Structure 1
Amino acid sequence: MDGDGPRSLTSAVQERIRADILATRLLPGQKLHIAGLAKQFSVSLAAVREALSRLVADGLVQAADQRGFRVSPVSLQDLADVTRSRIEIEGLMLRRSIELGDEAWLNAVEAAWSALKAFPHRFPGDDPLQYDEWAKRHNAFHLVLVSGCDSPWLLRFRKLLHEQSERYRRLSIRRDSGRDPADVEVEHAAIVEAVIRRDAEAAIAALAKHFTATKDSVAISSGGILEVDRAV
């Protein structure tokens, strides 16, 4: 792997493993072998160990004494907790963005919304590259919505929760959830319309409805993927 030094190598390894976890190429509960990863990425054992330790802090990896590292497990209980936390934190951020955001922020929201609408909703099973592009635009849209909150700390918390949500989406959306992609667009439109009116209550309610609908569709389509919480 290319890098200018030990820390840049560690960061590169961290991002590669993060991407593999979020794309579910590394599955929940899967053991992460330090030696194997070091060989795969052509880096030192220390670089892999530090990268995994950083991912523990992000909640994507779990560590246990004498048992090494594993990809963090998933469960319906955790999915519900992640969703509640997103509703509370992003609801607060959206309220602050509506209060503090200027015209440039509103224009950015409309631009992100237009970019998302221009690319139809895709599922990973249809075409991974197309889904990746949709997911990229979807993330950009939701990030812009709350970017006017003027709080780097809240933005950091939001990133962690979004990553967990995206992992659940990719784990379960391969199966039929019964959710029409058109419904997702309607939910997004309701959020944007409320934001443009600067109606914080309506915008937060629409955001909560959207996140809850996503949670429900993930739960329906998950089958046996989401297991009961268990210690690693």
Structure 2
Amino acid sequence: MLFARRTETDEPVVAMLASAIRRDISFGALRPDEKLKIDGLRQRYGGSSHSMRETLRMLVSEGMVEAINQRGFRVTSATEDDLADILLMRLEVEKLGLARAMAHGGVAWEAAVIAAHHQMMRAETALQNAPDDASVLTWDEACRGYTLTLVSACGSPRLIEMTGRFYNQSRRFRLARLREGRIDLHSRQLRHEALKAAVLERNTQDALLHLEEDIRADLRG
């Protein structure tokens, strides 16, 4: 056998480790191009050598970590070219997903969009009232949930998976902009109200325009 199958026992540990490392990459605790050594990561996050290697392989597949020519792993770079490429992919993937979801989604999908939007707005209000690490994390997770809900009725599991993958890759850029005060949360709320209204009215053209405007504003301003 060339590849060992991950056991059911490993899966919760790997998911937990991946979530913690993914979060620290997004928040800048693990810096772009930083080398990731198995022993050091185990001391910081726990887990066995095997589970940590599985975790890093998962993060490589997501584009959060790079394998270095059989010499280990490092955090992926975060250059202007990286940002431009991630922006391109988010626009292409999310607009396709939303268009398909608007064509195929029913009342249950509309209700899910309304609920996810409400959760995101509550998190945004909490962030404005108390901008600490916990509220930033809650807000970012709510934003991710809303993004995935918008495409959830597209009928393509791979398209949904790609939406989550490229959103994760964009997180450190948008969170850096948030820390620098370069995301206008009031303007963002207005954009999302307009996006929600267009979605519920099934106005695909306006919805896609609002979605593109929001993604660009979050990542480029």
Same fold (TM over 0.5): yes
Q: Is the 8 A contact 1:80 1:215 kept in 2?
A: no
1:166 deviation in Å?
1.2
Structure 1 spans left out of the alignment, 5+ residues: 218-232
Higher helix share: 2
1:109 deviation in Å?
1.2
Residue by residue over 1:199-227, the C-alpha shift from the partner in whole angstroms, topping out at 9 and shown as x without a partner, is 1111111101111111223xxxxxxxxxx
Percentage identity across paired residues of the two chains? 31
Q: Is the 8 A contact 1:26 1:71 kept in 2?
A: yes
Residue in 2 that maps onto 1:173: 178
User: Which of 40, 44, 48 is matched with 1:44 structurally?
Assistant: 48
Q: Secondary structure at the match of 1:148?
A: coil
Structure 2 CA distance, aligned partners of 1:42 and 1:147? 33
Aligned residues: 213
**Structure 2 counterparts to residues 1-232 of structure 1, below 5 A:** 5-65=9-69, 67-121=71-125, 122=127, 126-177=131-182, 179-217=183-221
Structure 2 spans left out of the alignment, 5+ residues: 1-6
Q: TM-score, normalised by structure 1?
A: 0.83
Structure 1 CA distance, aligned partners of 2:185 and 2:171? 16
* Partner AA of 1:32 in structure 2: L
Q: Which gives a bigger RCO, structure 1 or 2 (Cα 8 Å, sep 6+)?
A: 1
* Aligned-residue CA RMSD (Å): 2.2
1:189 deviation in Å?
1.2
* Partner AA of 1:29 in structure 2: D
Kindly tell me: are residues 46 and 151 of structure 1, through their superposed partners in 2, closer, same or farther at Cα, counting changes over 3 Å? same
Q: TM-score, normalised by structure 2?
A: 0.87
Structure 2 CA distance, aligned partners of 1:6 and 1:120? 35
